[in-house]
Amino acid sequence: SRGEIEKLLSLGVEPYRMSFGNTIKKLEDIKFAYDHGIRMFAVDSEMELEKIAMVAPGSDIYVRISTNGMEDDADWPLTRKFGTSVSHAIELVKYSKTLGLNPIGLSFHVGSQNYNPENWRTAIREASVVFEEAKQFGINMSMINTGGGMPVRYVKDIPTVEQIAKVINEAVEEYLGDNITVIVEPGRSMVGNAGIMITKVILRSKKSEENWLYLDAGVFHGLTETIQNIRYRITVDGKEDEELDTFVLAGPTCDSVDVMYYDAQLPKSTTLGDIVYFHTAGAYTTEYGTNFNGIDSPKIVVVNGILSDEEFEAKIPEIVEVESETSKE
């Protein structure tokens, strides 16, 4: 987005290292990016190509293809809104040349939290069809963006980044050959375990046969992904060894959408005032946080130093205590 571009520029990142990877861009934002030196743009439609040609002439473009079927192994599919078919991608590559643009390659996304490395191989194999077809029209593309999807461990076992990278490298060599630039977007897998969300129980109630726990932060305060199949590991401070029970876990707002899980497994005695931790909450929490309903999102507390997961979690009670004292002041 334009805001992300501005942030990167303020940090001193050179424009040639950036790409405008959203396939849905405002015309004025494309121009802003171009005027600031960015020359690489993603597309998945004719109109997006025409917009780029209009205000960013001569730019490099890459076409995002969809990965239907491969997202069955992902927690959060991304194909319906983004990407296009292989056959349409070929037409877009050809059309881009008539508009004076420079088609350099393709991108795809196998879905967020994808647990099957072989899906990257399948996507690269499908992308190779476009590369080969483009050559028939004198267009030699040299870049593949394999997107995100590399998972972080919430509650399921995951393949390592190294395992996924091995598949990507093998597939690129087999299907695309030499002199191919590979771009990856590891995102979540890099920062997921860099944060823990700390919440507090503000109400326990029983509705019919269901036990409900309401927290002081919910879907609108950074836990948006809970309604899209992301399962965080959740613990209650001081009650880690207690017998578990099933709870409906909800946020504090007046919106009925504000329910994280209908089947959360938490200690039976969890009640008013208990501290509830959402582990591996470093990705897509602060960015999703709002002040909806007049309720503030949790503050960000930065812990200095590089800590292991165990060291970080051991430090949580200290953080909670310091923050509690600060709030009283």
For residue 76, name the pLDDT band (cuts at 50, 70, 90). Answer: low
Mean pLDDT of the chain: 92
Percent of the chain at pLDDT exceeding 70 = 94
> Nearest-CA neighbor of 303 among 324, 323, 327, 283?
323
State pLDDT tens for residues 147-192.
Answer: 988 888 888 889 999 999 999 999 999 999 999 999 999 888 889 9
> Nearest-CA neighbor of 30 among 9, 5, 64, 63?
5
Radius of gyration of the chain (CA): 23
* CA–CA dist 309, 118 (Å, integer): 28
Domain regions of the chain by residue span: 2-191, 195-309
CATH topology of domain 195-309: Lyase, Ornithine Decarboxylase; Chain A, domain 1 (2.40.37)
State pLDDT tens for residues 232-273.
Answer: 999 999 999 999 999 999 999 999 999 999 999 999 999 999
Maximum separation of any 2 CA atoms in the chain, in Å: 71
pTM attached to this predicted model: 0.87
* CA–CA dist 187, 297 (Å, integer): 22
Ranges 75-84, 129-138, 142-151: which has the least confidence: 75-84
For the domain 2-191, what is the CATH code?
A: 3.20.20.10
**pLDDT given for residue 71 in this prediction:** 63
State pLDDT tens for residues 282-323.
Answer: 999 999 999 999 999 988 888 777 677 677 777 777 766 655
